[in-house]
Structure formats: C-alpha cells, structure tokens
C-alpha cells in the first residue's frame, strides 16, 4: 500500500495540488482513507485539512456502491470479459463477511473501522449490499467505521510515521 501511495503522490502532485492527490487517493479502493492520510502526512498537509478531506473522499463512493453494485455486478456477469472478475470479487467479499453476517451493525463498524488489508469502506459497502443489509443501517455503520479508521490512521500516519519521517 505504501508503494501505491508514494506512486500516486509522486506522479499526481506534478499536475494537481497535494490536497487533490489526497482526496483522490481516499476515493480509490484498497487505498481509501488510510492511504489518503498516509499520503497527506508524507506530503506535509496539516491534519486539520487532511482528515476532513480523506473522510469526504472515502464517503463519496459508498452510496453508489450500496445502491447500485448488485445491479452493476449482475450486468457485468452477463459479459464474458468481466464474469470471472465479478465472481472472484463477490467470493472474496463474501469470504470476509462472517463478522458482518453475525454481528451486522457492530460487525460492519469494526470491519470498516479497523484498518487491516482487505477491509475498509469499499469492501464493507460491497458486503453490506451483497448481504442485503438495510441501507440506513449500513450507511451509519460505514460512517462510524470511517470515523474510527480516521482516528487510528491519524495516529499511525501523523504520530508514528510523521515522527519517523521528520
């Protein structure tokens, strides 16, 4: 993940502001808020700017995933080109769904909020959609999870990494 963050920061910052780079990174699956905050700390963007920027960037795709991903997957599975990829994505997401299925709201909060590889708002929204979790409940859980991840990643990015890099 760090290599991806550094690549985006190095290549995009030539063309757009550092804040825009962080915002875009926060919207990208896999990197999301954790990658955005890490990039922000490396680009020396103040926490007061980067945290809201990363939260908003991470939230923007979530309603679209919750509302439309099942229809998009259904459509893409009809094409030979994307069928295998979509089935693989569904299986991977459902393989991580045990906590969410068992604890639903709290499971989704923890899944999104604890920044581990393969977790985050994108995957949480995908799982919630595939499990047909109520959209209001899943939206609230994902938002709380994003806020929780913000606190954890602030400590990692600005306190730990920031002190090592400085």
pLDDT one-digit tens code per residue, 66-108: 999 999 999 999 999 999 999 999 998 888 888 788 888 999 9
State how far the Cα of 29 lies from the Cα of 16, in Å rounded to an integer: 20
Q: Is the pLDDT of residue 15 over 90?
A: no
User: Cα–Cα distance between 15 and 20 in angstroms, integer?
Assistant: 10
Token digits of residue 143 = 């938002």
SS3 content of the chain, % helix, strand, coil (to 5): 80, 0, 20
Report pLDDT for 23. 96
pLDDT of residue 112: 96
pLDDT at 48: 96
Q: Please say if the pLDDT value at position 111 is more than 60.
A: yes
> 38-67: per-residue pLDDT in tens?
999 888 999 999 999 999 999 999 999 999
* pLDDT greater than 60 at residue 123: yes
Closest CA to 70 of 119, 128, 139, 31: 128
The H or E element containing residue 27 is helix 18-27
């Amino acid at each position: 993940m760090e290599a991806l963050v550094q690549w985006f920061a190095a290549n995009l910052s030539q063309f757009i502001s550092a804040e825009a780079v962080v915002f875009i990174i926060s919207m990208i699956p896999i990197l999301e808020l954790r990658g955005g905050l890490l990039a922000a700390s490396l680009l020396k963007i103040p926490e007061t700017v980067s945290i809201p920027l990363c939260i908003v960037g991470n939230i923007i795709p979530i309603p679209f995933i919750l509302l439309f991903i099942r229809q998009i997957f259904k459509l893409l599975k009809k094409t030979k080109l994307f069928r295998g990829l979509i089935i693989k994505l569904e299986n991977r997401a459902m393989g991580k769904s045990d906590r969410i299925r068992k604890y639903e709201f709290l499971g989704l909060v923890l899944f999104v909020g604890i920044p581990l590889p393969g977790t985050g708002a994108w995957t949480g929204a995908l799982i919630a959609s595939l499990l047909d979790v109520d959209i209001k409940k899943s939206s609230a859980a994902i938002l709380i999870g994003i806020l929780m991840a913000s606190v954890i990643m602030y400590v990692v990015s600005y306190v730990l990494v920031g002190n090592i890099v400085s």
